[in-house]
Chain A
Amino acid sequence: MTLLASCLMRAHLVYRQCYRFYTNSAARTIDVHSTPQEPITSKVEQPFRTSIDDPVLHSEKDVGLFYKVNPEDLKKLSPFGKALPLQFREECEAFNETSVMIRQPSLDIIKLIKQINWNLPPLKIVLFPAEAGVGMSLCLFHVLHYGFRKKMLLINTPTASEVLKLVLDATPSPSNELMWDTPAAASTWLKTFAINNEDILKETDFRTKFSYTWSARESTPAGTHLLDLIAYATDRIKYASGCVGAIVKEVKAQVREKDIKTLVTFDTINSYYGPTWIVKPDKSTVKPNEVTVVKALQELLLPDWNNAFIVTTIGPKGVIIPKVREKHNWVVRHGHYRTQHRLPGVLMYDGPMTVKSLLGTDGIEALEPFVPMQVEKYTENEFNNQYRYYIDRNWMQNYRGREEEGRKEILFFSARNPYEMAKFVGSR
């Protein structure tokens, strides 16, 4: 027999010794699914849902309750489904309904919208999280729904503007040599704008004040309806990014005369002031200022117009990563598990998670002055309501999760963080 075979046989014999260690200590024989137990009888409690469908009618009493979003409203608000985060969207498809929890920050913003003086330059609100995954996008969606019901003009940049940076097609702009166009992203933005504001644009007969020349032969005269302009730009995708700039200019100029209130929302606005993932042919990165759509939307933050209200969200530190291909350089690399104990890989971002460091100097300069609103983790009441909602929708499949012990364990594991709770409950 070869040396290798004899070594392997000896190794096998040696390994047999260590089986002893498992059998001498308490053997784990419990199979958790073989012993179902009685479910606890539900006490008569406060309901966790409201029947009030309309965010206009929501009040302080409704904090922590779920309201169901009308499917037609949802189609109008987010035609491509981008206004809500992906995980939430998948769960809504499984539950066959879209229910959003009413939380304190969105109610505060709605209160401010009711009180504001519309003749002053726009008030900017920045929703920043206490921790990552605390539900800012859903708060934003609630405010958006309120604006929709109140017939405000919605300038909604629904996706985390990372999409502007993850684009597959970034072409140099035909009109300006330094700028870069993003035809696909721009056309989706325009379509979203059209579908959001169809009614308002038709009612007020919003026509362009200025004329736009796209090239030597193509131009749009002043006085075209905005919806026609958007249809034209969707046909001629080459000029879609320019059209975004045109719409921004029109809105800023005319909203004062027409007396329409505007609600502007940005999701993860710090990606507008952070690194882009578009790379020029000579391998240098493009700055966000050089992307047409981003530059146009940044003009919305300037204080030279009124009748507007701006709500933004700060994105997580994932937005700060310079290049998508090199993401693995920013995650901790572990040694072997036997020699080095380890925690799951963390993104290496050395700075603090405050608004100032996530936005950077450019962002702060553009956004100042703003009202920061912190979005907290769930309170006890909100956590219980979310737990009961998951049980109601049959999302918690493990019967242990429906008991008191399971609830305590979910509370312990997720520390009342909405994202962590959704992840934990999603896999049990």
Chain B
Amino acid sequence: MLKSLFLLRSSSFQCIRQYHLTIPSLTAGQTQYRGQKESTWWEKYGSHVDPVATRSDLLTMDDLDERHYRPVKPVIPTYQSFSCFHDPLVSRVVGVLLREGNRELVEELMHKTFRTIKLIQVGKLNRAKTDEERSSIECNPVTLLQQAIKNATPIVRLTKIAKGGTLYSVPIPMSPTRGTFTAIRLLIDSTHDARPHDQRFWTLFAKEIMDAAQNQGRTIKKKQEIHRNAELNRAYAHFKWQK
């Protein structure tokens, strides 16, 4: 019967290890891996050929082309798409929220979050009396998310630098990628702490995004906390370059 085939339990109870250990020399022995070349998932792409880049290339490909008989690299990873609704920032947030690789669940959560944001904002829009109010209300959830992340990115972070036997907390500039990640993580953590805590994740997340886009709320407070701590330790900032 179908049910018995698919009733697996979660991966921690499973007898077979369900994920790859990625260091070949240290893998434990359930696989017959003896260090052969190109048998790990990232080494396999070493010999893959570049894919077709444009439509004209595709039409003018000849029969002796390598791609007919050699493995071809994928153009974009599985979680990206060429759909006109795809957004790289949303993909990034999905990646940060992922747990145990359950991408579908997180995509559903994001869809519900965006729907909640839209319900609130479009409600305000359709009830607004004047044109000015209507132009001031921002309904697009992706724009709000971008605004929220922009407002919530800290610029500096504290790192420990050892000098003369003591560890000092030194503020150093943060790279933009790391900044986006920190902003997303701050949003998620403040959702985790949000009250009332028995509401669903997407409603609380929607409220956090809208608050952060307005420069209010817990997320912005946490970012300001980081900046305040960095300001306090401003005296040691030169330690980064002095050695």
Instruction: Note all chain A residues with C-beta closer than 8 A to B112.
Output: 427
B167 interface residue (CB < 8 Å to A): no
Answer whether A11 and B85 are a contact pair too, CB < 8 Å, given A95-B122, A395-B118: no
Residues of chain B lying within 8 A (CB to CB) of residue A334: 8
Chain B min CB distance to A403 (Å): 8
Bound state CA distance, A333 and B114, in angstroms?
27
CA distance A22 to B80 in the complex (A): 12
Q: Which residues of B contact A94 (CB under 8 A)?
A: 118-120, 122-123, 126
- Chain A 11-29 against B: per-residue CB contact (8 Å), 1 yes, 0 no? 1001101100110111010
Number of A-B contacts (CB under 8 A): 133
Chain B contacts with A in 43-90, Cβ cutoff 8 A? 43, 45-46, 48, 50-51, 53, 73-77, 80, 83-88
Residues of B within 8 A of A403 (CB): 84
The CA of A342 and the CA of B1, in the complex, are separated in Å by 19
* A:377-402 near B, CB below 8 Å: 393-395, 397-398, 400-401
Residue of A nearest to B144 (CB): A397
**Which among A32, A344, A403, A405 has the highest number of chain B CB atoms within 10 Å?**
A32
Evaluate contact between B19 and A7: CB separation under 8 angstroms: no
CB contact under 8 A between A426 and B45, given known A348-B3, A397-B141? no
Supposing A15-B22, A426-B118 touch, asked if A336 and B11 sit within 8 A by C-beta, the answer is yes
Tell me, in angstroms, the Cα distance from A320 to B42 when the chains sit together.
45
B130 to A: closest C-beta gap in Å = 15
B23 touches A11 (CB 8 A): yes
Task: Determine if A409 is an interface residue (Cβ-Cβ < 8 Å).
Answer: yes
Indicate whether A329 sits within 8 Å of B18 (C-beta atoms), given known contacts A7-B26, A25-B76, A426-B111: no
Instruction: Given A17-B42, A93-B119, verify A339-B18 contact (CB < 8 Å).
Output: yes
B159 within 8 A of A: no
Question: By the criterion CB–CB under 8 Å, are A336 and B19 in contact?
Answer: yes
* Interface bracket on B: 35 or more
Q: Is the interface of B mostly helix, strand, loop or mixed?
A: loop
Question: Across the interface, which residues of A come within 8 angstroms of B22, CB to CB?
Answer: 11, 14-15
Chain B residues with Cβ below 8 Å from A26 are: 51, 53, 75-76
A409 to B42, CA, bound (A): 33
Considering the complex, give the chain B residue whose CB is closest to the CB of A410.
Answer: B85
Q: How far is the CB of B113 from chain A (nearest CB, A)?
A: 8
Alpha-carbon gap, A29 to B123, bound state (A): 34
Distance (whole angstroms) from the CB of A302 to the closest CB of chain B: 37
How far, in angstroms, from A189 to B51 measured CA to CA in the complex?
63
A400–B84 contact, CB under 8 A? yes
Cα A74 to Cα B130 with chains together (Å): 27
Cβ distance A86 to chain B, nearest Cβ, rounded Å: 12
Contacts of A398 in B (CB 8 A): 85, 140, 142
List residues of A (24-56) whose CB comes within 8 Å of B's CBs: 24-26, 28, 31-33
**A394 to B125, Cβ gap below 8 A?**
yes
In this complex, the member of B9, B115, B120 whose beta carbon has the largest number of chain A beta carbons within 10 angstroms is: B115
* Complex CA–CA separation, A205 to B115 (angstroms): 47
CB neighbours of A409 from chain B (8 A): 83-85
CB-CB under 8 A for A401 and B85, given A33-B143, A426-B115 = yes
Q: State in angstroms the CA–CA spacing of A336 and B8 once bound together.
A: 11
Q: Does A130 contact B (CB under 8 A)?
A: no
Nearest chain A residue, comparing its CB with the CB of B72: A25
- Within 8 Å of chain A (Cβ to Cβ): is B101? yes
Q: Does B127 contact A (CB under 8 A)?
A: yes
Alpha-carbon distance between A8 and B202 when the two chains are bound, in angstroms: 35
The answer to the question of B7 belonging to the interface, with a C-beta cut-off of 8 Å to chain A, is: yes
Select from chain B the residue with minimum beta-carbon distance to A344.
Answer: B104
A18 B76 Cβ-Cβ under 8 A = no
Is the beta-carbon distance between A333 and B85 smaller than 8 angstroms?
Answer: no
B140:A397 contact, CB within 8 angstroms: yes
> Which B residues, 112 to 138, have Cβ-Cβ distances below 8 Å to chain A?
112, 114-115, 118-120, 122-123, 125-127
Given A95-B126, A344-B104, A348-B6, A7-B23 contact (CB < 8 Å):
yes
Q: How far is the CB of B17 from chain A (nearest CB, A)?
A: 9
CB of A338 within 8 A of chain B? yes
* Shortest beta-carbon distance from B75 to chain A in Å: 5
Residues on B with C-beta less than 8 A from A335 are: 8, 11, 14, 18
**Smallest distance from the beta carbon of B133 to chain A beta carbons, Å?**
13
A423 at the interface (CB under 8 A from B): yes
Q: Find A406's partner among B3, B75, B85, B103 (CB 8 Å cutoff).
A: B85
- CB closest residue in chain A, given B118: A397
Judge whether B188 is part of the interface by a CB distance below 8 angstroms.
no
Shortest B74–chain A CB gap in Å is: 7
Whether the pair A397, B139 counts as a contact (CB closer than 8 A) is: yes
Chain A residues 292-351 with CB under 8 Å of chain B are 329, 332-339, 344, 348, 350
6 A–B contacts, CB within 8 A, in A order:
A25-B74, A93-B123, A94-B122, A336-B100, A350-B1, A395-B118
Chain A residues near B (Cβ < 8 Å): 7, 10-11, 14-15, 17-18, 21-22, 24-26, 28, 31-33, 90-91, 93-96, 329, 332-339, 344, 348, 350, 393-395, 397-398, 400-401, 403, 405-406, 409, 423, 426-428
A-B interface, 4 closest residue pairs, ranked by CB to CB distance from nearest: A427-B111, A336-B18, A337-B101, A18-B42
Which residues of B are interface residues toward A (Cβ below 8 A)? 1-3, 6-11, 14, 18-20, 22-23, 26, 42-43, 45-46, 48, 50-51, 53, 73-77, 80, 83-88, 100-104, 110-112, 114-115, 118-120, 122-123, 125-127, 139-143, 146
13 more CB-based (< 8 A) A-B contacts, given A336-B100, A401-B84 = A7-B26, A17-B42, A18-B42, A33-B87, A93-B123, A94-B119, A333-B10, A348-B2, A397-B142, A398-B142, A400-B84, A426-B111, A427-B115
